Chains A and B, each alone.
Chain A
Amino acid sequence: MSDKIRMAHGGGGEMTARLIEQVFYEALGGDFKEANDSAVLELPGGKTAFTTDSFVISPLFFPGGDIGKLAFCGTVNDLAAAGAQPVAISASFIIEEGMDIADLKRIATSLGDVSRETGIPVVAGDTKVVDKGSADKVFITTAGIGIIPEGIDYHPRNIRPGDKIIVSGTIGDHGYCITALREGIAIQSSVTSDCRPLHELVALLCPLAGDVHTVRDATRGGVGTVLNEWARQSGNGILIRETMLPVKDEVKGGCALLGFEPIYLANEGKMLFIVSYNKAEEALALLQSHSAGVDAAVIGEVTAGKPQVIMETEWGTRRVVPVPRGEILPRIC
């Protein structure tokens, strides 16, 4: 590892994993190493999920949301992926000197709106202002806690060969929307960010608790990154079918143009589920009954093969879906 932080260290791929392993695991110890996006704590009142996330997106405002809504939904979705019902959120703002207060107000209002809509309160916060140039307008850190109902355990250790993999809707919308905006093709684009809270959607699967083996929101690094992590964590193979991946036509075409693959683009409103094969249809029907899951689809299955992700391509051939390398897309969330 070279001795300076590079943008690729924040990309969510192999270099991010290595940075966490080489700096934070070592410094913060064993409990941290076991951590997923949310920690599950055994508190006197029952199992509690606890999580935190930072948001450094550029641009701050985008079709379908802004950094405020994103910061709220990101943390709610991390709690949801642990199977928790979110209880409360905190939000800290690092603000650059010179930022327009009107913009800040817009961001705070949008964060507040989604809090009111979901009934999940923002109960603590902090504001710091730094010199011009020490931050880019505003960075937000949110944290959240949630209660995990009895019988829910969504740890990747539960993954078994034969399980089906379900995605809750079209992939790559957020990443594509931001990229299109930055590349200046946004004017013709009809794709908006999928940024939205998913705790209700995940809660729909509570009746299938023992058969829902693991859940993750496919944010930075996209579906491809989550699947690779699951393959590594569970020691199983994963087989997905390209033709079954729900991708909007414009995202597909735009990606071909820009040289990206939708499978690695960030999502801010998409969950991945691994479910027992005999309950997959039932789970799919439950997800499709909710507005956040109408495009849900089974995209593949867990195999007894070696721990890597294989894609059956639209051409009927097979290839590896590698762990993304290097700088995928900086500051996407």
Chain B
Amino acid sequence: MTSNSFNAAAGIIDEKKYFHLLVEKLRQIVVRPVKLMEVCGTHTMAIGKAGMRGVLPPEVELISGPGCPVCVTADSDIDAFMRLAKDERVILATYGDMVRVPGTEGSLAELKAQGADVRVVYSALEALDFARTEGDKEVVFLGIGFETTAPATAHAIKTAKAENLSNFSIYNLHKTVPEALRVLLEDETTTIDGFILPGHVSVIIGETPYAFIAEEYGIAGAIAGFEPPEIMAAIVKLVKDINAETPVISNLYRKAVRPEGNVVAQNLLREIFTSADADWRGLGVIPGSGLALSKNYEQFDAAQKLGIEKIQVKLHPGCRCGEILKGIIKPRQCPLFAKRCTPENPVGPCMVSSEGTCAAYFLYHGGDGHVG
């Protein structure tokens, strides 16, 4: 922790003043163009909402990564859970973000308007309540998210098993972050000089799963919180490390992230899930980046239970989600952005999710991506 961030944390100096000191510091130390990827969609939104890009020196470019769970949901998965929602036996419980995601035949919002029982919940445990009180229905929870939300799903499954709830299951979309970062680092078309690493995910997994980024690829990473000064502090740290050619993984979010992470949550994940391959929209199948239900909990797999198969579907022609998720292009370089693809009529989930890169650009940079 730098003395300034300590002072800001202690309330000795004003956090706005601290933010501007960091911007000033960044201007002083930047010597060459650097591309930093904010992996996490919550960072993307926070950066947009605080208008941070406007105060960065021109050499520092922020690119948005694949850390928005909705955005990386494969089209074949989207179509599969749409079919689940259409099943009259099913109550589909989901986080609000998924409701407007477009599949090949419309969204959950449209299915709901046509009579499907789609319910927005804030936690997996709410879905369990439906299962307890509506025994004649199969309650399927859309288990989506990275290491952040997976423990909550795991907890719900464990509870369901303990209560012998036979009408509860999950459609499992959970994914893990580190393996996706490896794919980006292996990809020769991407250029990333440093990672702003996701704060919430790190609360669960800790620091060590990122070590390979610095050790094997020589790239710096900084775990950051979500307040503008916290993000700016990570940018300053990354630029320093890049300048000094000393790539390390720094934890700048120590108030929430322990080096070892949340061991209780990790043990729960290990009990309920097992590592598996996962299909990422735009990135393809990434080995070891998914969480499949382990043997003891297989009966909670909705796809198996209700006989839902994934059918490969083609991405919308012209949709460049994959390149956007890898940070190769900016949303406005996609031919569909703000034209065919808008928040009301999204083509891809990146335009829907409250953490989506395209949604962030559309909202906070104006429809055409420019302020002013």
> Which residues from chain A sit less than 8 Å from chain B, CB to CB?
2, 4-8, 14-15, 18, 259, 305-306, 308, 310-311, 313-320, 322, 325-326
Contacts and interface: CB of A to CB of B under 8 A. Distances in A.
Contact of A325 (B16, B110, B344): B344
Contact of B344 (A4, A14, A319): A14
A6 B54 contact: no
Interface stretch (B43-51, B212-220, B281-289): B43-51
Contacts of B54: 317-319
Given A305-B372, A325-B344, A317 B109 contact: no
Nearest to B100: A326
A313 to B, nearest CB: 5
A313 B50 contact: yes
B365 A320 contact: yes
25 contacts: A2-B106, A6-B112, A6-B113, A15-B344, A310-B372, A311-B51, A313-B49, A313-B50, A315-B16, A315-B50, A315-B52, A315-B55, A316-B55, A317-B52, A317-B54, A319-B48, A319-B50, A319-B54, A319-B364, A319-B365, A320-B364, A320-B365, A320-B371, A322-B363, A326-B343
Contact of A319 (B19, B343, B354, B371): B371
Nearest to A239: B372
Given A2-B106, A326-B343, 17 more contacts: A2-B113, A4-B113, A4-B114, A5-B113, A6-B109, A6-B110, A8-B109, A259-B354, A305-B372, A311-B51, A315-B50, A316-B19, A318-B371, A319-B50, A319-B54, A319-B371, A320-B371
Interface residues of B, number: 28
A204 B244 CA distance: 64
Nearest to A306: B372
B20 interface: yes
Interface in B310-333: none
Nearest to A7: B109
Given A18-B344, A259-B354, A322-B363, A316 B110 contact: no
Contacts of B57: none
B300 interface: no
B107 to A, nearest CB: 9
Interface in B227-281: 228
Nearest to B45: A259
B171 interface: no
A5 B363 CA distance: 24
Residue from A14, A15, A320 whose CB has the most chain B CB atoms within 10 Å = A320
A314 B229 CA distance: 12
Interface string B27-56: 000000000000000000000111110110
Given A4-B113, A313-B50, A325-B343, A320 B16 contact: no
B344 A320 contact: no
B357 to A, nearest CB: 15
Closest 7 CB pairs of A and B: A317-B51, A4-B113, A319-B51, A325-B343, A322-B363, A320-B366, A319-B364
Given A2-B106, A8-B109, A315 B354 contact: no
B106 to A, nearest CB: 7
Contacts of A318: 51, 54, 371-372
Interface string B94-114: 000000100000100110111
Nearest to A237: B372
Nearest to A259: B354
A178 to B, nearest CB: 16
Given A2-B110, A317-B55, A322 B364 contact: yes
Contacts of A306: 372
B362 interface: yes
A315 B344 contact: no
B273 to A, nearest CB: 27
A316 B20 CA distance: 9
Nearest to A322: B363
Name which of A18, A314, A317 has the most chain B CB atoms within 10 A of its CB: A317
A308 B52 contact: no
A15 B114 CA distance: 18
Contacts of A315: 16, 19, 50-52, 55, 228
Given A4-B113, A4-B114, A259-B354, A320 B50 contact: no
Contacts of A7: 109
